[in-house]
Amino acid sequence: MKHTAEGDPDAVFKEVTAFILKIFPALETLSKITFTPDYETMLTDLSSLINIGPNGEIILQRPGLPADQAIGLTLLGSQVASKIGKKQSDDMSVEELASSIRKTPKTVRNTVVEMSKTNFVERTGRGTYRITTIGMKELLDDVKAILESEGRHQGGDR
């Protein structure tokens, strides 16, 4: 038996996973409990909340969000930017985060310390942080709920 898959790493992973599930149906149960980020869908979902600049800078589209949500979205954007080759690394410094979310470095520093305690973000170096898998999953669930809620409000206003 032979199967060939081409494309970016995420597309190849999906293709290989689908192929294996065809061969081993019992793995379907495993796939239901496995969180595998879908960066293509993530880009679509996040496009109304953040943008990625030409040099990989993360631009928050919704000023005024609470600091923890703004930091989470920005770090998620940083991870996506890293995966699509717009940034070399997925972590961000406190200063980069502060600039991106338009809050003071002190606010960012205090917030990321609290977010680290709940495993939402992790410290990667002196003053640099990245979103964790737990943080990514929770934030994506929140983003989908926000977008669905906005869709219902827009549909109800017509």
pLDDT 10s digits, 14-66: 888 777 767 666 666 666 666 677 777 777 778 888 999 998 899 988 878 89
- Rank 4-8, 80-84, 87-91 by mean pLDDT and report only the highest: 87-91
Tell me the angle at which helices 39-46 and 133-156 cross, rounded to the nearest 10 degrees: 50
**For the chain, how far is it from start to end, CA to CA, in angstroms?**
54
Chosen CATH of 39-156 out of 1.10.10.10, 3.40.50.300, 3.20.20.410, 3.30.70.360: 1.10.10.10
Could you read off the pLDDT of 135-152 as tens digits, one per residue? 998 888 888 877 787 776
Residue at 56: amino acid letter: G
Distance CA 76, CA 136 (A): 7
- Do 122 and 129 meet the contact criterion of CB atoms below 8 Å apart? yes
DSSP H or E segment with residue 51: strand 50-52
pLDDT higher than 90, residue 123: yes
Supply the pTM of this predicted model. Answer: 0.73
Sort 78 into a burial class: Cβ within 10 Å, 0-12 / 13-18 / 19+: buried
Q: How high does pLDDT run on average in the chain?
A: 84
Task: Provide the residue ranges of all domains of the chain, joining segments of one domain with +.
Answer: 6-35, 39-156
